[in-house]
A and B are shown apart, each in its own frame.
Chain A
Amino acid sequence: MSAIKATSRLEVRGLSTSFATDAGRIQSVADVSFSIAPGQTVALVGESGSGKSVTSLSLMGLHARTSQAQMQGEAWFVRRDGTRVNLLALREDRLRALRGNEMAMIFQEPMTSLNPVRTIGAQIAESVRLHRKLDRAAANAHALRMLELVEIPAAAQRVHQYPHQLSGGMRQRVMIALAMACDPTLLIADEPTTALDVTIQAQILALMGRLQKETGMSVLFITHNLGVVAQYADAVAVMYAGRIVESAPVHALFADPQHPYTRGLLECLPGVARRQGHSLAQQAGFQLFSGPATPRRTRLLAIAGQVCSPLSPPPGCAFAPRCPKREGVCDCAMPALQSTAPDRQVRCTVLARQPIANHHDPVTA
């Protein structure tokens, strides 16, 4: 248990969220802890069912009331004036004062996140008028400046257009403009480029990087794309079945992934497999499936099986059924997050038992 870092913008401790469904209460997210320093980009990586989106919605307090979300833990956010507030314990009206103002969020599908019957200028101006109390003319001028900031061509005409008149990439820029309108110190980006073409994705990521450098805001970047993480993030937290299974600075994570799931994720990428010639494979203990491989290419190292249903989680580690390093003890209890280095943590029973020096085999790529 580390003390609160004096320089955190956001410090999340033990966040857990559960929902009521037809089939009972399910735990979507459990024991999530991470921190983001000012100006830092932290990536939350996971596949479906990992709980990464639920985490971001919990922080913003955006769960639907009908889902009966129950949240536990703390999320300490440092405001512009230096005061610290626990986002999970804030009243709705105080949280609303922060949303769109000091904390902003952008989503995956800009078409459904923008109001189709209001012009984009009006939507941006609304945010500014609400939080900065500007009058209509000043707000509209600010909206225009924001559109120019996100490099929308012909911004003066676009400000009067409706979302459906813009392309996907443009709409995502509008979302970013909306999010940046009140100069937030924390931006939560939930898969902002997943629905975009790769060339547009490159533009959007470059834009976000530039804005981050100019304003010094922190970014919590949620994605399943390891390529984006490698190019953009400073630190990474890998999530599986609602828990963080590994967190590390980005260079360390890619050079030396410790958790079997992280290793599996990296190795099953066709590009990575080819580049590193499967040397990671043997070390991770992944067995090549039996079966013929074509003479020219070797099989991809897939992680066997699929993620368990949240309604019937395994008795111990959630990844155990798919893990090549599984041992009997893995099914006894959920492992705790352990530090393996000053800024690295791993949730693995088998790894926890080894002395720290043996945790990683250096990659000879």
Chain B
Amino acid sequence: MTDPANLIEVQGLRKYFGGGSHPVRAVDGVSFAIRHGETLGLVGESGSGKSTIGRLLTRLAEPTGGSMMYRPQDGAALDLATLSQSQYRPLRSRIQIIFQDPYASLNPRMRIRNVLDEALDTHGLAPGSARLPRIHALLEQVGLRSEHAERYAHEFSGGQRQRIGIARALAVEPQFIVADEPLSALDVSIQAQVVNLLCDLKEQLGLTLLFISHDLDVVEYLCDRVVVLYLGRVMEIAPTRDLYANPQHPYTRALLEAAPVPDPAHRRSITLLKGDLPSPAHPPSGCVFRTRCPQAAEQCAIHDTTPRETSPGRWTACWRNE
């Protein structure tokens, strides 16, 4: 998968929580690549490991195994998984994260000016008299006003706080941003505003975006390619249009079918997935989806489910697509 167009190459990434013979396998052998300048969607339900992957890439959590190759155009390739925290620190001005909860991600006792100040300070950006204008410019870039800098976080709505979170991530001039469910805590009408903002910023700043979400409609709108996860493993990877028009993996099909369409003229009865998510400490053997799959067969329990490339750019983990 070594391709000069890739900014990030994740290979066999694993994160297990807890020790003993049955650790919780939050991420269990995930491999994918993110190309320069693309928006990659990471889609899954709870327990899929998508948020954990975001935290692993930004080293807010330590990986248990696997590699995360970072290949900037203007520097040497580095394996993010093996760096120590102090070695990773300089990269924090290149790789940033936007969090899901706009209420918890801002310190309630800090003014917005200090929030952005801290970000700029940490990497020695815009020193001295250039600092305040830079802070104001950042706020305007995300659709707020310069006078907002003097206020505290609790004086803003959820959508505004999310904009502040975006401004904070942008302050250090990153080239790669992990957006960890940035819309989930927002009202629908505000989500559209933030989606537009993200699109604009990506355009203006040439960002590469990893968009983590469970909302399939937004992912379809925003992303160039999509990775579908289930119980810590990759089920399918495909360009967006192909994935939505012709999903190959049974889980992807179930996900797309289950999402309610806002059109009463299209009411349909769907095949429901039976049962619940299995325990991540005791994942089923073979294909982890087989306990709920409408097309499960006996060999699903022993088949190797490493995703295979079924056509250029499309990978699936289901043996039925080979």
Task: Show the binding face of A for B, using Cβ within 8 Å.
Answer: 47-48, 153, 167-170, 197-203, 205-206, 224-232, 250-251, 254-255, 264-266, 268-275, 289, 291-294, 297, 299-304, 306-307
24 interchain pairs, CB-CB under 8 A: A47-B187, A198-B259, A199-B255, A203-B272, A205-B260, A227-B261, A227-B262, A230-B263, A230-B266, A230-B267, A250-B264, A251-B265, A254-B265, A269-B188, A269-B217, A271-B221, A271-B261, A271-B262, A293-B199, A297-B221, A299-B196, A300-B196, A303-B193, A306-B190
Quick one: which of A198, A226, A301 contacts B214, CB cutoff 8 A? Answer: A198
Interface pair B258/A201, CB less than 8 Å apart: yes
Sorting the interface of chain B by its residue count into under 10, 10 to 19, 20 to 34 or 35 or more gives: 35 or more
Given A197-B214, A199-B45, A300-B192, A227-B159 contact (CB < 8 Å):
no
Query: Which of B190, B199, B255, B263 has the most chain A CB atoms closer than 10 A to its own CB?
Result: B263
Task: Show the binding face of B for A, using Cβ within 8 Å.
Answer: 45-46, 157-160, 187-193, 195-196, 199-200, 203, 214, 216-218, 220-222, 254-255, 257-267, 269-270, 272-273, 275-277
Of all chain A residues, which has the CB nearest B199?
A294
Interface pair A167/B277, CB less than 8 Å apart: yes
State A264–B255 Cα separation when bound (angstroms).
Answer: 26
Beyond contacts A231-B267, A269-B217, A301-B192: 8 other A-B pairs, Cβ-Cβ < 8 A, are A197-B214, A198-B259, A202-B273, A206-B272, A254-B263, A271-B217, A271-B221, A291-B196
Interface pair B261/A297, CB less than 8 Å apart: no
Given A203-B272, A206-B272, A264-B189, A228-B200 contact (CB < 8 Å):
no
Interface SS of A by simple majority:
helix
Given A167-B277, A199-B45, A270-B221, A306-B261 contact (CB < 8 Å):
no
Q: Which residues of A contact B193 (CB under 8 A)?
A: 302-304
Interface pair A202/B262, CB less than 8 Å apart: no
Which 7 pairs across A and B sit closest by C-beta, in order of nearness?
A: A227-B260, A268-B192, A302-B192, A270-B221, A197-B45, A47-B187, A271-B217
Interface pair B261/A268, CB less than 8 Å apart: no
State A269–B192 Cα separation when bound (angstroms).
Answer: 7
Interface pair B160/A306, CB less than 8 Å apart: yes
Of all chain B residues, which has the CB nearest A291?
B200
Interface SS of B by simple majority:
helix
Of all chain A residues, which has the CB nearest B277?
A167
Interface pair B260/A294, CB less than 8 Å apart: no
Quick one: which of B218, B221, B254, B262 contacts A226, CB cutoff 8 A? Answer: B262
Of all chain A residues, which has the CB nearest B279?
A167
State A291–B189 Cα separation when bound (angstroms).
Answer: 19
Interface pair A266/B262, CB less than 8 Å apart: yes
Minimum CB–CB distance from A110 to chain B (whole Å) comes to 13
Interface pair B203/A47, CB less than 8 Å apart: no
State A255–B265 Cα separation when bound (angstroms).
Answer: 9
State A29–B265 Cα separation when bound (angstroms).
Answer: 31
Minimum CB–CB distance from A99 to chain B (whole Å) comes to 30
Q: Which residues of A contact B270 (CB under 8 A)?
A: 202
Interface pair A202/B272, CB less than 8 Å apart: yes
Minimum CB–CB distance from A148 to chain B (whole Å) comes to 16
Query: Which of A199, A265, A268 has the most chain B CB atoms closer than 10 A to its own CB?
Result: A199
Given A198-B214, A289-B196, A302-B196, A230-B188 contact (CB < 8 Å):
no
Minimum CB–CB distance from A17 to chain B (whole Å) comes to 21
State A230–B259 Cα separation when bound (angstroms).
Answer: 12
Interface pair A231/B255, CB less than 8 Å apart: no
Minimum CB–CB distance from B197 to chain A (whole Å) comes to 9
Of all chain A residues, which has the CB nearest B251?
A199
Interface pair A230/B262, CB less than 8 Å apart: yes
